[in-house]
């Protein structure tokens, strides 16, 4: 596959560019019989929509999703579901100006080189975070599928932003608070401090990074394969397809490298419901590549966005000499807040794919293959 198709049984096709006609997705493999309409997709799209607050780019897009196929009488039919949004607030002038001065650490030069100069560079083209709107459309459907069939709940939030890290919060805090503040923090007070930090950084023409943590509850035991396509493998693969992600870790993650086995191992006990459970969850809900029944917990590190107003050095490709660059245009001063719903949706895609692969969700909801 050339790199725009993800998955095996819940398959997500990505298309569209930042400044083209629109962006969207074809999802092949949503089981027949799921109640689905634009109303199920739009809320997640709204959460990632730009221009909503001071912490995001000021590009104004309605991002109104249209389902073009695969739904009939309010339910999925088993056929591919095509969904898309139109690009409306497009201004490509700054990209024309920048075409020969690639932004440091942005895809300008690597994509130009890879595609022999034929790539659509306007608004960063396929390298734009706008492409993730398609992930969100697909993921919103995946979330609904997982919730209705298995009761899975997915909660992501900003764990860290600009060095400020949320601590002492509960999952219930995250569930309740994350979408009530602009930075998607589980802690409203910390959210204010983070927001001020973003405003300050933006004022300095700079950008900030951060960490998103994602938790998924109520997974059955047995999602993921033992060798390749382990659940962590596939979540990591998807995570690194989200622009600006530079690292991913599960459970105790990098910290486990400094723990002893006796400290890191999750010892078993029988819980009150008679279920075999673990006292700790350093495994992050995945053992031997397979979901363990404990909460899935993983974290994604986002670098600070590459497009900054501050003066930087780059090379003028036409003159082949170093020049100074001040990136014009509208850019996110930090991607983490907008990334939170994207991470939830991407997680849902991977989980839905594995739930279908492992037979926990049937290709037709409510049974199949019987003559009417």
Task: Report the residue number, 42 or 105, with the smaller CB distance to its own copies.
Answer: 105
Torsion of CA 13, 15, 18, 20, to 10 degrees: -160
In angstroms, give the least distance from the CB of 225 to its own copies: 3
Number of residues that bind its own copies (CB under 8 A): 163
Residues from 302 through 361 that contact its own copies (CB under 8 A): 302-308, 310, 312-315, 317, 320-322, 357-360
In angstroms, give the least distance from the CB of 274 to its own copies: 7
Distance in angstroms (rounded) separating the CA atoms of residues 77 and 137? 17
Distance in angstroms (rounded) separating the CA atoms of residues 189 and 88? 35
Beta bridge partners of 214: 156, 298
Task: Report the residue number, 170 or 262, with the smaller CB distance to its own copies.
Answer: 262
Torsion of CA 307, 308, 311, 317, to 10 degrees: 0
The yes or no reply on residue 20 touching its own copies (CB under 8 A) is yes
Of 22, 16, 65, 7, nearest to 40 (Cα)?
Answer: 65
Contact mark string toward its own copies, 180..219, x via CB under 8 A: ---------------------x---xxxxxxx--------
Q: Work out whether strand 71-72 and strand 153-161 pair parallel, antiparallel, or are unpaired.
A: unpaired
Distance in angstroms (rounded) separating the CA atoms of residues 258 and 125? 41
Residues from 234 through 273 that contact its own copies (CB under 8 A): 234-241, 243, 245-254, 256-270
Instruction: Identify the DSSP state of 127.
Output: G
Task: Report the residue number, 175 or 277, with the smaller CB distance to its own copies.
Answer: 277
In angstroms, give the least distance from the CB of 264 to its own copies: 5
Of 55-63, 80-88, 138-146, 170-178, the segment contacting its own copies by CB under 8 A is 80-88
Calculate ∠ Cα 112-339-46, nearest 5°: 105
Of 42-50, 51-59, 103-111, 184-192, the segment contacting its own copies by CB under 8 A is 103-111
Residues from 131 through 190 that contact its own copies (CB under 8 A): 131, 160, 162-163
The yes or no reply on residue 96 touching its own copies (CB under 8 A) is no
The yes or no reply on residue 288 touching its own copies (CB under 8 A) is yes
Q: Which helix (H) or strand (E) holds 146?
A: helix 132-150
């Amino acid at each position: 596959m050339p790199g725009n198709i993800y998955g095996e049984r819940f398959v997500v096709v990505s298309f569209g560019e930042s400044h083209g006609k629109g962006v969207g997705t074809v999802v092949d493999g949503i089981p027949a019989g799921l109640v689905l309409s634009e109303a199920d997709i739009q809320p997640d799209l709204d959460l990632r929509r730009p221009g909503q607050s001071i912490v995001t780019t000021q590009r104004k897009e309605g991002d109104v999703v249209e389902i073009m196929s695969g739904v009939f009488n309010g339910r999925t039919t088993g056929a591919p579901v095509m969904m898309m949004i139109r690009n409306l607030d497009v201004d490509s002038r700054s990209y024309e100006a920048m075409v020969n001065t690639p932004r440091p650490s942005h895809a300008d030069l690597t994509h130009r080189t890879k595609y022999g100069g034929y790539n659509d560079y306007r608004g960063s083209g396929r390298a734009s975070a706008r492409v993730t709107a398609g992930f969100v459309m697909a993921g919103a459907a995946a979330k609904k599928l997982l919730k209705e069939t298995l009761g899975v709940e997915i909660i992501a939030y900003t764990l860290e932003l600009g060095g400020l890290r949320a601590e002492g919060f509960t999952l219930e805090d995250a569930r309740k608070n994350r979408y009530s503040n602009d930075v998607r923090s589980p802690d409203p007070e910390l959210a204010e401090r983070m927001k001020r930090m973003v405003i300050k950084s933006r004022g300095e023409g700079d950008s900030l990074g951060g960490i998103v943590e994602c938790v998924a509850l109520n997974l059955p035991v047995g999602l993921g394969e033992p060798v390749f396509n382990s659940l962590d493998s596939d979540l990591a693969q998807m995570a690194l397809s989200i622009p600006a992600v530079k690292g991913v870790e599960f459970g105790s993650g990098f910290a486990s490298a400094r723990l002893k086995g006796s400290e890191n191992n999750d010892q078993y006990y029988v819980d009150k419901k008679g279920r075999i459970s673990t006292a700790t969850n350093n495994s992050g809900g995945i053992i031997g590549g397979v979901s363990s029944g404990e909460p899935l917990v993983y974290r994604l590190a986002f670098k600070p966005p590459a497009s900054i107003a501050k003066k930087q050095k780059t090379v003028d490709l036409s003159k082949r000499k170093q020049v100074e660059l001040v990136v014009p245009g509208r850019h996110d001063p930090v991607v983490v807040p907008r990334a939170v719903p994207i991470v939830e949706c991407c997680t849902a895609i991977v989980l839905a794919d594995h739930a279908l692969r492992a037979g926990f969700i049937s290709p037709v909801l409510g049974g199949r293959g019987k003559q009417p």
